Amino acid sequence: MAVLTRKGMGTLLARQGILVAFVLFMIGFAVANPRFIEIDNISGVIRSSAILGVMALGVTFVVIGGNLDLSVGSMMSFSTIVVLDLHDKLGPLLAIPAMFGLTLALGAFIGFLVGYLKLNSLIVTLGMLSAIHGLTLTWSGGKNMDIDDKSGTWFSIFGQGTAMGIPVPILIFALLAAVLGMILAKTPFGRKVYAVGGNGTAATFSGIPRARVVFFTYIVSSFCVAVAGLLQASRSMGSQNTVGQGMELEVLAAVILGGASLLGGSGTIFKTVIGVLILGFIQNGLLLMGLAFYAQYVVTWVIIILAVWLDIAAKRGRLLSPIA
């Protein structure tokens, strides 16, 4: 009985451990600083997490499809710099679709390499991380970008505006999550993504165009990156050319925290949103406790390791390897 109890508890922690840890974190942060649960702080955390969250929504498709995308951070830098630069040259009405077109082209290129040429997604996107960063520096001439006339443009509405008292970034994040969640859960394309990620060979023999599905998961990811770049540029009305550097790890952490398996075939948009909020509230709580911002990088690394461990444990039904 004791063995069964320990096994049952191990299975429970393996499947729900990250949620248990999140609840404990929330309680601990609230006790340490009552400001943590104030409405303004909660709203601020969600708003600041919107950019990361939008990117995580797209990466969820890629991960469920059985691949990785480590290029989203540098791609977001590229999108932000491009739309800021073109804003003053073409105006926002032309700058926004031009930026989306260029970002989608990068996503299509990655999708072609991974989907149709069947190259390893880790190698491809790791290489593209550096390549796109170089492209961003080339576009900007190594300089940061700013909008010249910040008061004479409506461009700031995406990152700074409100609608019905709710910040626009939160509304965009929620709307995109709802639409992509519906696509993933209720459409033939969504079912094909799960099938390809779960067993690509079986999906191919079932008549599912595996290469095309993988290709479009990267299109979705790059579209979400473009939205994130628009929000970032509009929020600050200027940007460093490295604004997205390192965000790929935070995005991956949020997606895995939400329950998407690195092995592919499992995960949901709703759980990714939860993963984003978990990461955002943990980082906010650490700041309120007086922990230096750079310590968040260490915490993020610990969270990634913990999430991967729990993900593997959930697959085998126990926290420790049978060999151990």
Backbone angles phi, psi at 38, to 5 degrees: -70, 150
Quick one: pLDDT at residue 43?
87
Are 288 and 300 spatial neighbours (Cβ–Cβ below 8 Å)?
Answer: no
Are 258 and 58 spatial neighbours (Cβ–Cβ below 8 Å)?
Answer: no
Please list the pLDDT of the chain residue by residue as tens digits (324 residues): 444 455 555 555 555 556 666 677 778 778 888 888 888 888 888 998 999 999 999 999 999 999 999 999 999 999 999 999 999 899 999 999 999 999 999 999 999 999 999 999 999 999 999 999 999 999 999 888 888 878 778 999 999 999 988 999 999 999 999 999 999 999 999 999 999 999 988 998 899 999 999 999 999 999 999 999 999 999 989 888 889 988 998 899 889 888 888 888 888 998 899 889 888 888 888 788 777 777 777 876 776 677 667 666 665 666 666 655
Quick one: pLDDT at residue 320?
64
Quick one: pLDDT at residue 34?
83
Tokens coding 152: 């004479």
Token pair 């999550």 in the structure block, residue = 177
Tokens coding 190: 């969504």
Task: For residue 145, give the DSSP letter.
Answer: E
Quick one: pLDDT at residue 124?
97
Quick one: pLDDT at residue 283?
82
Quick one: pLDDT at residue 2?
46
Tokens coding 248: 């790929």
Tokens coding 181: 């969640």
Cα–Cα distance for residue pair 26/44, rounded to 1 Å: 16
**In sequence order, what are the beta bridge partners of 145?**
239
DSSP β-ladder status, 238-239 and 145-146? antiparallel
The pTM score is: 0.87
Backbone angles phi, psi at 286, to 5 degrees: -65, -40
Tokens coding 5: 């109890």
Quick one: pLDDT at residue 33?
82
- Most distant CA atoms of the chain, gap in Å: 72
DSSP β-ladder status, 166-167 and 238-239? unpaired
Please compute Rg for the chain using Cα positions: 20
H-state helical runs in the chain: 2-32, 39-64, 72-90, 92-111, 121-140, 157-160, 168-186, 188-198, 200-205, 210-236, 247-257, 269-288, 295-316
Tokens coding 39: 């409405």
Cα–Cα distance for residue pair 159/243, rounded to 1 Å: 15
Are 284 and 45 spatial neighbours (Cβ–Cβ below 8 Å)?
Answer: yes
Q: Which burial class, exposed, middle or buried, applies to 205 when counting CB atoms under 10 A from its CB (0-12, 13-18, 19+)? A: exposed
Write out the E strands in the chain. 145-146, 162-163, 166-167, 238-239
